[in-house]
Every structure is written in C-alpha cells, then in structure tokens.
C-alpha cells in the first residue's frame, strides 16, 4: 500500500536475515524505536510473530538472498508497501568451518552465494530506487575478520574480505547520488551464529584434527559481547549526516586489527628494497 501514511521523522528499513542473531536484534530495536521495517527471512514463520507485535510498522517477507528473482520481488513489494527506503541492511550470512584443503568447491560456491552475491543482489535491486529518491543508507554486516584471517575459517574470512572491498568501492561510486554506505564489523558476540542454520562444517581430514581442536577451544574462551547492547551504535550511524564507512562493534576488534596491520607494515618495510628494485 503506497498510500500508507508514515509517521514523520521515522525511517523505513529493509533488513535481510531478520530471523535470528543481529538481524533479529536490530529488526526489533528499529521497530521499538518507532521506525518501519521490512523484515525478511528464508522461512516466513520464523518472523511471523513480528506482525502481531508491531502491526503496520512491519512488513514480513520470504527472502532467500541467493535467489535473484526473490530479491527483486521482495524489494518491489516492500517499496510498493512503504513508498521509500531509508536504510538497507544486508545481514544474511553464515560461516564455514574448514581448512583450505578440506572444503570442496560446491561448499565455497554456496558460501559466496549467500555472504557475497546475496548482498550484491540486494544492492543491485535497491540502487535504482535509492538513486531516484536521492537518499538512502546501505549497511552491510561484515566482521572484524574482514581485515585478518584465522585458520580453519579462512574461507569465511575471505567472504568478508570480498564483502569489504565491494562495499568500499560502492561507497565511492554512489556518493555522487547522495547515498551513504557503512560496513558494520562486529567482534565476538553471543548470538545464534554457532547454530546449525548459521554455521556449516566440511568433511574433516585427520591431519588437521589437532589444529581444529585447538582453534575451537580458543573460540570458546573468547569474551563475547551482548548483542542487545549494539542497537544504539547502529542508530547513531544511520542518524548521522556523516556516517563512517566502517564501524567496529565491541572492544576487541581495534586492538587485534592494529596489531595485524603493524606486523604487515613492518613486513612491507622489511622488504621495501626488494620491492622497489622490481620497479626498474
């Protein structure tokens, strides 16, 4: 219903992966503050309760981001219903636990279909609308692992590196249209990210058993943040006239990334003479 009268000063959100984790937390938080939300998930029943709780403030839609026809249909339905978009939040994604040798190509294709191409499909579907509006803010849920890589989840990390590059390039391409881009980079949080819906495992090779045991043990010892503490940070970003391109969530990403980049810079400096000689 494009004739739906929206309350002044309230934003219209389009959120993927609204059924659990950050997606659910941010969907409910946006609705609680009085905004309007298009909540999407692969299984409509997983978000159906939002209709009873929030009425006309929410539109729930089935959306598997790996299906481009569904993406186009959901975006058009949402736009017809609310008449505009203020915030596009690409949140759908999952992790793959596998060493580089273990994962097969089909598993990698599936990972990228959701984590990278799914997000791109949403961006491509909404951009004509946002350009015609002359406003809009595209957010994407990446990770602190968009800047470094751990063993055993290297392919997941690689999907976030690709995600980061795409969004950074996008930000430079669409600023001319009055559009904004922000990459959200959470650290470790106590979400459902370890659930069967959010994490997949490749067949294991015995030679990596000890490495994987140590890695999983280390993950269990990591301090995890409370996801319900994050909405105010997201709201501050979307309400800002000059939002950042990147925003860490949590206390531990910045120190780890600083350490990683310090080592990288030192290694580049150490090999500077060899590198420059290659210019001749």
Query: Counting beta carbons within 10 angstroms of the beta carbon of residue 267, is it exposed (0 to 12), middle (13 to 18) or buried (19 or more)?
Result: exposed
- Residues with a catalytic annotation lie at 142, 156, 160
Q: Are the CB atoms for 102 and 202 separated by under 8 Å? A: yes
Q: Are the CB atoms for 163 and 145 separated by under 8 Å? A: no
Pairing of strands 199-201, 180-186: unpaired
Listed in sequence order, the DSSP H helices in the chain are: 21-32, 49-54, 68-82, 105-112, 119-133, 154-174, 209-221, 231-238, 253-270, 272-277
Q: Are the CB atoms for 77 and 100 separated by under 8 Å? A: no
Neighbours of 106 (CB within 10 A): 8
Q: How far is CA 9 from the centre of its chain?
A: 26
Read off the tokens for 223: 């301090």
Q: For residue 211, which of 153, 156, 257 has the smallest C-alpha distance?
A: 153
- Look up residue 117 and give its DSSP letter: I
Pairing of strands 246-249, 199-201: unpaired
* Degrees, nearest 5: CA angle 104-186-62: 65
Q: For residue 173, which of 113, 130, 231, 121 has the smallest C-alpha distance?
A: 130
Rounded-to-integer distance, Cα 178 and Cα 159, Å: 28
């Amino acid at each position: 219903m494009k004739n739906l009268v929206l309350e002044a000063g309230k934003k219209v959100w389009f959120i993927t992966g609204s059924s659990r984790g950050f997606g659910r937390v941010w969907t409910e938080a946006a609705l609680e503050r009085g905004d309007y939300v298009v909540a999407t998930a692969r299984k409509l029943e997983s978000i159906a309760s939002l209709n009873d709780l929030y009425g006309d403030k929410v539109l729930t839609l089935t959306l598997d981001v790996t299906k481009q026809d569904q993406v186009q249909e959901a975006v058009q339905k949402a736009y017809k219903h609310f008449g505009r978009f203020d915030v596009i939040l690409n949140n759908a994604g999952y992790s793959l636990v596998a060493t580089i040798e273990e994962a097969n190509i089909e598993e990698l294709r599936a990972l990228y279909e959701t984590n990278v191409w799914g997000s791109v499909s949403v961006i491509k579907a909404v951009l004509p609308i946002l350009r015609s509006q002359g406003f809009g803010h595209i957010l994407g849920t990446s990770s602190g692992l968009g800047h470094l890589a751990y063993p055993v989840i290297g392919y997941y990390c690689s999907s976030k590196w690709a995600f980061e590059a795409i969004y950074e390039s996008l930000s430079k391409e669409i600023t001319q249209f009055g559009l904004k881009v922000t990459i959200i980079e959470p650290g470790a949080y106590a979400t459902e990210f370890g659930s069967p819906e959010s994490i997949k495992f490749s067949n294991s090779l015995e030679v990596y058993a000890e490495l994987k045991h140590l890695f999983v043990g280390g993950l269990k010892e990591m301090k995890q943040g409370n996801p319900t503490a994050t909405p105010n940070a997201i709201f501050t970003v979307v309400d800002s006239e000059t939002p950042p391109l990147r925003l860490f969530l949590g206390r531990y990403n910045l120190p780890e990334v600083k350490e990683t980049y310090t080592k990288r810079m030192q290694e580049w400096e150490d090999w500077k003479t060899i590198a420059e000689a290659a210019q001749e």
